[in-house]
Amino acid sequence: MQTLIVFCHLRWDFVFQRPQHLLTRLAKHYKVMFVEEPVYEAGEGRMVFSQASPNLTVCQPHTPSHAPGFHDDQLPLLQPLVAELAPAGEEVLVWFYTPMALPLLQGLHPSLVIYDCMDELSAFKNPPKQLLQRESALLNIADLVFTGGPSLYEAKRTRHDNAHCFPSSVEAAHFAQALDRSNGHALQRGVPHPRLGFFGVIDERFDAGLIADIADAHPEWQVVLVGPVVKIDPAALPQRQNVHYFGQQSYQDLPQFLAGWDVCLLSFALNEATRFISPTKVLEYMAAELPIVSTAIRDVEDPYGTIVAIGRDHKQFIAHCEAALAQTPEQTSRMGASMREVVARTSWDATADRMQQLIAGTPPGGKAARLTRKSAGDNGEAGQTDAPGKINPLRASPGIPLYGSIVIGGGPTGLSAAYHVGTDNLLLERNGSVGGWCRSIQDGGFTFDHAGHIMFSNDPYVLELYDKLLGENQHWQMREAWVYSKEVYTRYPFQASLNGLPPEVIKECILGAIEARYGDGAEAPSCASQHVEDCCADGGSEAARASDTARTEKTQSFEDFIYKVWGAGIAKHFAIPYNRKLWTVPLSEMETSWLGGRVPLPNLAEIVEGALRPVPRPMGPNARFGYPKRGGFQSLMNGFLPLIRGKIELNAEVAQVLPEEHRVTLADGRRFQYEKLVSTMPLPELVKLIGDAAPPAVRQAARGLRHISIRCVNIGIARSDVTDKHWIYYPEDTIFHRIFVQGNASPECNAPGGFGFTCEISYSPLKPLPLDGEALIQRCIDDAIKVGFISADDQVLVANQIDMPVAYVVYDHQRAENVATVRTWLAGHDIHLAGRYSEWEYYNSDHAFLAGKRAAEQVTREHSRVAPRAS
């Protein structure tokens, strides 16, 4: 007989369930060695053997380590013990119930590797940190994959091309003993009827609140619970006179408990841990032909929803129990017939036989066999990986978790990448919450963002994503963007909304535009892009409206562009002072590709029209924007969290990136390996973390990338009628260049009776902050009073500061070349750049979502191309 070595997270003498049913039957064909998790014992490690049944040996490792389960600290102690289980020279079969034991495969010579995925272990309480990445590695090398139910099969079948669905089955004859209703168990003889019973493990999957509600709704009912309590505090379970806990009982005794019940309960909580479960007990209950009431577990409702009553909430569950107890004999008879028909279609014998046929029909020597031979040095191939950029999961650095991909940064780009890339991913976020610069803070009942953010996009996918992330928590409204200059408000964009400015200013602006259009220039200045976009999500594209045919001239700098597009008047009174104030660097040092669209000379008719009469509220797709009703922009970021299937680590600051080793080290000393890395952190910072491993030219290019910083001063005052505007630009003498009116983004950002706004101040080495701390806050308050935004009588309720050290990337003339140099080198080391700060691009949040999606798709494509699955 060939040896079958099984690694399991469950002990053999625990609840008798799927592993025990299958392996006792497969022991007819194989010599089964069932390896449990280790137990502590001082001294030298040893394996303790016990015979569970013919050809089935339980192997319990005893080691001097207190580490739980197949922990990394246990692996070197277990390796020699496990290696002795394989007969000399034999290629064994290896069967996994837990991916955590995967590194122990290295000491064996497997002909086939089987993964029986009976549960989604990563969704259970306190899963090991490495579980997801080890499962991905196991799925990559397994020859056969079995799943414990339809839901799990749907989740895994796209990740393996030889996956098979084997729902839990039943020993019908065993549980049919319960049909003798007089054969009750002695423990419950003193419990009155009606009895509603449950047997199974009582853990985080168990709805304790439901049991309490049942007991309270019907004190005359008796609830009988049979099974061990694990991973939860027994004291937290409901304590009632009509709730009875009988603890773990033997498999042989379960029919006797069933014989004394009137209704069987599948009282599972609806949470991540139960999302994929396929309860064995539903068929065992059916074999006893008793009424069954279940919560809305997918693998119970489909296909048994016509036989099992499904309670979608506690009230409905209790109502179904009432109906079950009131069944007529005719109803009971029809129910029994339906149950017998279901039970007759399945058995553990048939399931085990079909599995054995698949094992026998799968050619030996698959991917795992090849990898273990390489690891042992066969053919001189030790140390080789499968392909460039693909780490051999059996030879990853001991104790260091390996992920198919790691995403650095939990801002909008990183969250989008993690959402789109799938399960075998680790998202590292250095802060205590996700969101990056799209995070929000709470202060005194006010909500403030890190600078002003809005929801806006012309991309249908992003609009659908907003709905998925926020649902009904959205507030859409028409934009009110304004400019304050010359002591008056004009609509944004300035050049198309001159009405109300002093006559001499209007005159200069119109004459300047005419001179720019009909002057000596041969061509209208233009940008490289072919599509007009609203880069700032604040109506900037309205400044880029096409005009009729005109002579054009290419510009060399942003400053040159301003004069040649808008003319000297608009440049003097708005475009130059505002952009100098915002960008802090000489505008002659900036190029124009960041403007996002081909920008011909402005339409003179519109300029004149905007000077003669007030401009109406802007229309079109750019004029309407959204914002979360509640929770600030943070709630949009948080919307990703329940959708991300991979691992998320918060407070995880990256301290080092080693491209050659494909390794990331955190500031707290933890290390992770990756096959692909997606970075959303600022590009110069990433290169610094790589250090001397990057060539001098790459380090020099990264140092040449420039940015500006933003300090946000958030203020909440005791008044609710400040303004109807959403944001205001200030090109003149204020410390801030823009006020974002947070309180009008959503009224729920305001404390009761209050109103919040944010003063945004740009700074850089060329223009440092003139003040800091309380002095900076007071200067913002004084300037807000000076421009009439608030009054001197307003009471300030809260005031705080948020600093954004890297806020806007500067499009100087060297940027494109520097980015290309760094990006090219990183791409050769499986590092992808995504988002505003890694791509060093002017992105809004909707662009960031799409950038994360593109990065995830690229990683997925490369995984498929580099490591095709073995068949």
Cβ partners under 8 Å of residue 555, min gap 6: 525, 526, 561, 564, 565, 592
Instruction: Count the neighbouring beta carbons within 10 Å of the beta carbon of residue 491.
Output: 24
Confidence of residue 406 (pLDDT cuts 50, 70, 90): very high
Percent of the chain, pLDDT > 70?
90
| pLDDT tens sequence across 553-585 | 455 799 998 998 889 999 999 999 999 999 999
Other beta carbons less than 10 A from residue 87's beta carbon: 11
**459 or 543: which leads in pLDDT:** 459
- Give the residue-averaged pLDDT of 805-823: 94
Residue that is written with structure tokens 């493990």 in the block: 201
> Given this model, what pLDDT does residue 533 score?
43
Q: Which of 28, 93, 35 is nearest to 69 (CA)?
A: 35
pLDDT band at 621 (very low <50, low <70, confident <90, very high): very low
Rg (CA), the chain: 34
Q: Give dist(CA 334, CA 261) in Å, integer.
A: 19
pLDDT at 592 over 90: no
Helix residue ranges per DSSP H, 362-487: 367-375, 412-421, 460-470
Cis amide linkage into residue 194, ω under 30° from 0:
yes
Identify how many contiguous H helices and E strands the chain contains and give both numbers: 27, 33
| Helix 683-690, helix 815-827: angle, nearest 10 | 50
Cβ atoms within 10 Å, residue 727: 23
Q: How confident is the model at residue 548 (pLDDT cuts 50, 70, 90)?
A: very low
Name the band, by pLDDT with cuts 50, 70 and 90, for residue 156. confident
677's enclosing H/E stretch is strand 671-679
Mean of the pLDDT values across residues 335-342? 95
Segment 591-614 shows an average pLDDT of 74
Helix (H, G, I), strand (E, B) or coil at 159: helix
Return the closest-CA partner of residue 863 out of 159, 243, 280: 159
Asked whether residue 546 carries a pLDDT value surpassing 70, the answer given is no
Q: What are phi and psi of 71, to 5 degrees?
A: -70, 155
Neighbouring residues of 618: CB distance < 8 A, sequence distance ≥ 6: 478, 479, 491, 539, 542
pLDDT tens-digit profile of 777-794? 999 999 999 999 999 999
* Residue with token string 């012309």: 458
What is the structure's pLDDT at 124?
82
Strands 425-428 and 402-408, how do they pair?
parallel
DSSP state of 191: S
Q: Map 429-451 to HEC letters.
A: CCCCCCCHHHCEEEECCEEEECC
Phi and psi, residue 691, nearest 5°? 65, -140
d(CA 415, CA 646): 11
Distance CA 279, CA 205 (A): 11
**689, two tokens:** 């973390």
Q: Which CA distances in Å does 786 have to 455, 545, 724, 796?
A: 31, 34, 19, 16
At 867, the pLDDT band (50, 70, 90 cuts) reads very low
Q: What is the pLDDT of residue 541?
A: 40
Least confident of 406-410, 642-646, 739-743: 642-646
158-215 tens-digit pLDDT: 888 899 999 989 999 999 999 999 999 999 999 999 999 999 999 999 999 999 999 9
Residue 605 or residue 116, greater confidence: 116
By percentage, how much of the chain surpasses pLDDT 90?
73
Q: Are 163 and 340 in contact (CB under 8 A)?
A: no
Count CA within 13 A, CB hemisphere, residue 568. Answer: 6
Distance in angstroms (rounded) separating the CA atoms of residues 313 and 311:
5
Token representation of residue 561: 């562009």
371 pLDDT tier (thresholds 50, 70, 90): low
Residues 6+ apart with CB under 8 A from 356: 26, 29
Strands (E), 727-869: 727-729, 738-740, 755-763, 796-809, 831-833
Dihedral angle over CA of 699, 700, 705, 711, nearest 10 = 70
- The confidence band for 127, taking pLDDT boundaries of 50, 70 and 90, is confident
* 33 phi/psi in degrees, rounded to 5: -115, 105
Lowest model confidence (mean pLDDT) among 308-322, 356-370, 850-864:
356-370
- Measure Cα distances from 139 to 120, 391, 404, 830 in Å: 13, 14, 12, 22
Bridge partners of residue 763, in order along the sequence: 709
* pLDDT tens-digit map of 460-496: 999 999 999 999 999 999 999 999 999 999 999 898 8
**Tokens 């380590």, located at residue:** 65
Average pLDDT score over residue span 415-434? 94
Q: What is the mean pLDDT of the chain?
A: 88
**pLDDT score of 555:** 53
- DSSP symbols for 706-750: -EEEEEEEEEEES-S-S-S-SEEE--SS-S-SEEE-HHHH-GGGS
Which residue(s) pair with 39 in the sheet?
62
Task: List the structure tokens of 8.
Answer: 């399991």
State the pLDDT at residue 530.
Answer: 38
- Residue 154's pLDDT is 86
Centre a 10 Å sphere on the Cβ of residue 32 and count the other Cβ atoms it contains.
27
* Token pair recorded at residue 208: 């304790």
CA atoms of 821 and 837, how far apart (whole Å): 15
Are 470 and 635 in contact, with CB atoms under 8 Å apart? yes
User: Token pair of 776, please?
Assistant: 């900076």
The per-residue pLDDT for 373 is: 60
d(CA 609, CA 220): 82
Q: How far apart are CA 391 and CA 518, in angstroms?
A: 63
Can you say how many angstroms the Cα of residue 314 is from the centroid of all Cα atoms in its chain? 30
